[in-house]
Amino acid sequence: MTTVLTPASPLTAADRCDRCGAQAYLRVVLLSGGELLFCAHHGRKFEPELKKIAAEIQDETERLTAPPATAPDEER
């Protein structure tokens, strides 16, 4: 997925996928205005269509595989 790094606020657990309601890890700012939020699954599923209509894509899916900040150093 093409990612544009923007100074947008990080997504939180309160941000939910517009398709299924799971936690959102992608924010898609539309060329026409407005935004859509997607979980990683639906972000990948709709990637080709999103690229056509997106002004920006904020992708935070790396958070799914990152070790927690409280993990011991050997687990990071």
pLDDT tens profile 12-46 = 999 999 999 999 999 999 999 999 999 999 999 99
- Pick the residue with more confidence: 73 or 75? 73
Residue 68, Cβ neighbours under 10 Å: how many?
7
Residue 50 neighbours by CB under 8 Å, 6+ apart = 1, 28, 36, 38, 43, 57
pLDDT tens profile 48-70 = 999 999 999 999 999 999 887 78
pLDDT surpasses 80 at 7: no
- Predicted pLDDT of residue 8: 75
- Predicted pLDDT of residue 54: 97
pLDDT surpasses 60 at 2: no
